Amino acid sequence: MQNNQNIKVAVDAVVFGYHNNALYVLLVQQKYGVYKDQWVLPGGLVHNGETLTNAVHRELQEEAGININYLEQLYTFGDDVERDKRNQVISVSYFALVNPDNLKLSAATDAQDVKWQNINNIPKLPFDHNLIIDTAFKRIKAKLHYQPIGFDLLPKKFPFSDLEHLYATILEQEIDRRNFRKKILSFGFIKKCNEKQKNGSGRPAQLYTFDPNKYKALEKNGMHFEIKFA
Amino acid sequence: MQNNQNIKVAVDAVVFGYHNNALYVLLVQQKYGVYKDQWVLPGGLVHNGETLTNAVHRELQEEAGININYLEQLYTFGDDVERDKRNQVISVSYFALVNPDNLKLSAATDAQDVKWQNINNIPKLPFDHNLIIDTAFKRIKAKLHYQPIGFDLLPKKFPFSDLEHLYATILEQEIDRRNFRKKILSFGFIKKCNEKQKNGSGRPAQLYTFDPNKYKALEKNGMHFEIKFA
DNA sequence: TCAAAAGTGTTTCGCCTACACCCATGT
DNA sequence: ACATGGGTGTAGGCGAAACACTTTTGA
């Protein structure tokens, strides 16, 4: 095996959080090095002997002290040989979701600062991180249609209207409340709780919860989750 | 930037070809090293300063002398730290299609031998190459439903029934000839040629061709290619 | 009593499904 | 004339789309 390969392997993560009816991405501020003070996606070089997945979890802990709720590989960026000006680095990028219970960012140990940045207001970032975020944004939009990932952005118990607003916000389109509700409930993996939630004025909302086991069972029986909008 | 990372970056490709109503995967026989004589997916380490995509094209040339028709990134395998017993290597895997005009494999320079292996008869391969092939097979099945990739497995001009058989073969299900034809033609990106094709007995088949420009134009106008089967 | 958000049914329309016979050629 | 594969139309059902008023609470 040739031994002079000089290419580094990094992982980067686009972590989405949803609150106040808006979608946010986690950014960290570099503490050291050439990119010091710049805001970037959390991530870093993979350690020797470490799996890619573990590297992502480690970096998220080290840089933001955050626990994620859903993780999947997004894409590997390596067609721009100079995407990192220090060395040839390929980035195995991941896509993660955090629910509101885990939104609090701890004072990071490996980053100078950490913040949630509104997806509609992402500044120009170093490397190809804007491209990575765009790719992730497309992915989340696509997945909302055919995978139950919206629930990973909401608390365990949520009013139905929150789910509806989440879809409307992320997909950037209006949706018909009645048809949406009918369709989602028809699958049978959403359960009604024995609680209601009051928020200021307006009628209190019935709380619902997503049942992942029911989902898996239904899927095994041939259910195909898919939701479209007029 | 830390400089002691000892992880290699390889690319591997699952190249699909379709002929005689069957789907095949390109395998190469290793010429050197610990894995000498074993059949594996074409691929190898990325060169310094080389993009991932170029690495794939280069390896396919060196090992099989083949020109591909469609290429997309599949997945990056790096969660089994010992997937290669020589060193920690991550594999950025690709998914490629070859049409029948390019099926001929040249006597490879960097491989001992090269062959098309029926997808339904893949032997146990070294590394995690069986897993990679499975992933690619799932991907091609999924993509057939919502992207016009079937045409990259057929010659430029083809009888409609070939397309139908391709779908039936790859998806491993029967499809209704009339409904399939109606649906595909309704999109408007398939054009009738002024030729017919005779093959032995039976009525000669009208030839059709896929018009990629028309496809793009229609897609821009909101067309959404999707085909399902009862 | 008004504002604010939650909850709920019906009709229409278009698409997907199911399904069987005739056509052109070679042997 | 028979075997082989190519080519075509229609009716019914089901799910998606469109659409507006009532209910419950807080101020």
User: What tens digit of pLDDT does each residue of B176-226 get?
Assistant: 999 999 999 999 999 999 999 998 889 999 999 999 999 999 999 999 999
Q: Counting Cβ atoms within 10 Å, is residue A51 exposed (0-12), middle (13-18) or buried (19+)?
A: middle
Q: Which two tokens stand for residue B148?
A: 């016009």
Q: What percentage of chain B reaches a pLDDT higher than 70?
A: 98
**Residue A1, pLDDT score:** 62
Q: Which of B2, B48, B75 sits opposite A88 (nearest CB)?
A: B48
Rounded distance, CA B96 to CA B12, Å?
Answer: 10
The pLDDT value recorded for residue B3 is 72
**Stated in angstroms, how far is B192 CA from D3 C1'?**
28
CATH code of domain A154-220: 1.10.10.10
Domain with CATH 3.90.79.10 in chain A: 8-146
Mean pLDDT, each 10-residue run in order, chain A (230 residues): 87 97 96 93 98 97 94 98 96 97 81 96 97 98 98 97 97 97 97 92 96 97 93
State the pLDDT at residue A9: 98
Exposed/middle/buried for residue A31 (C-beta within 10 Å: 0-12, 13-18, 19+): middle
CATH of B155-220, one of 3.40.50.10420, 3.90.1150.10, 1.10.10.10, 3.55.40.20: 1.10.10.10
Band (B107; pLDDT cuts 50, 70, 90): low
Q: Please determine, for residue B70, whether its predicted confidence score (pLDDT) is greater than 90.
A: yes
Q: Report the pLDDT value the prediction gives residue B106, as an integer from 0 to 100.
A: 79
Q: In the prediction, which pLDDT does A230 show?
A: 84
Residue-wise pLDDT for B76-104, tens only, equals: 999 999 999 999 999 999 999 999 888 88
- What's the pLDDT score for residue B110? 86
Chain B residues 56-75 with Cβ under 7 Å of strand C are none
Rounded to whole angstroms, the Cα distance separating B95 from B140 reads 8
pLDDT, tens digit, 9 for 90 and up, residues B10-58: 999 999 999 999 999 999 999 988 999 999 999 999 999 999 999 999 9
B1: pLDDT strictly greater than 70: no
Structure tokens at A68: 């994620």
Confidence category of residue B154, pLDDT binned at 50, 70, 90: very high
**CATH class belonging to A8-146:** alpha beta
Nearest to B30 by CA among B44, B16, B11, B47: B44
Identify the pLDDT of residue A110: 86
Is residue A144 within a helix (H) or strand (E), and if so which, with residue range?
helix A129-146
| Chain A residue with minimum CA distance to B82 | A49
Nucleotide nearest to A205 (CA to C1'): C6
**Which of B9, B53, B80 is facing A5, going by the closest CB pair?**
B9
Strand C nucleotides, any atom under 7 Å from protein beta carbons: they are 3-10, 16-20, 23-27
In the prediction, which pLDDT does A109 show?
Answer: 80
With a 7 Å cutoff on the CB, does A155 touch strand C? no
Bridge pairing between strands A8-19 and A43-45? antiparallel
Looking at chain B, which residues constitute the CATH 1.10.10.10 domain(s)? 155-220
Give pLDDT, residue A104: 86
The pLDDT, as a whole number, for residue B2 is 62
What nucleotide is nearest B198 when CA is compared to C1'? C25
State whether B9 and A78 contact (CB < 8 Å).
yes
Query: Measuring CA to CA, which residue among A14, A90, A89 is closest to residue A59?
Result: A14
Judge if the beta carbon of B199 is closer than 7 A to nucleic acid strand C: no
